[in-house]
Amino acid sequence: MFDSILVICTGNICRSPIAERLLRRAMPHKKIDSAGVGALVGHPADPAAERVAIKHGVTLKGHSGTKFESAMGRNYELLLVMEKEHLEQISRRAPELRGKTMLLGHWINDKEIPDPYHKSDEAFESVYQLIDQACQHWASKLGS
């Protein structure tokens, strides 16, 4: 079905690295990576994202921010984004990718995953829970 997935957020240091690691854990035989439409290239995961992930047994160690490029998107069968604005940005940059781009929260009533950057650990926890729920739905739909 979909053997390669790119998870996209804004800076690629909070939401998409968490989703990438959760999806990799749930579907270890698939190629799963992450990027950001406005990535902080080369930056590690946000410390708050790392703290919340570790609390749930997930490590973001080794993550390095990667900028989404149109050519990159063509190397994946499915692109999962956090917000409708990300859908729009990708559609403007690479209209040919729109058909394979969906919200990560698609299976939870097209829920957008808000950006917790520069917010409290409680905000990161809430976002982690949404990402985890969305990733569980994708894993159950796509299989491991």
pLDDT tens per residue, range 71-92: 999 999 999 999 999 999 999 9
Q: What is the mean pLDDT of residues 120-130?
A: 97
The pLDDT confidence band at residue 143, using thresholds 50, 70 and 90, is confident
**144: pLDDT strictly greater than 70:** no
pTM of full prediction above 0.85: yes
pLDDT for residue 1 is more than 80: no
- Assess contact for 51 and 86: CB atoms under 8 A: no
Catalogue the active-site residues.
9, 15, 115
CATH of region 4-142: 3.40.50.2300
- The overall average pLDDT reported for the chain is 97
> Three-state SS for 56?
coil
Extents of the domains making up the chain: 4-142
144/139 Cα distance (integer angstroms): 7
Instruction: Give the chain's length.
Output: 144
Asked if 130 and 113 count as a contact pair (C-beta separation under 8 A), the reply is: yes
Query: Looking only at Cα atoms, what is the longest distance across the chain?
Result: 39
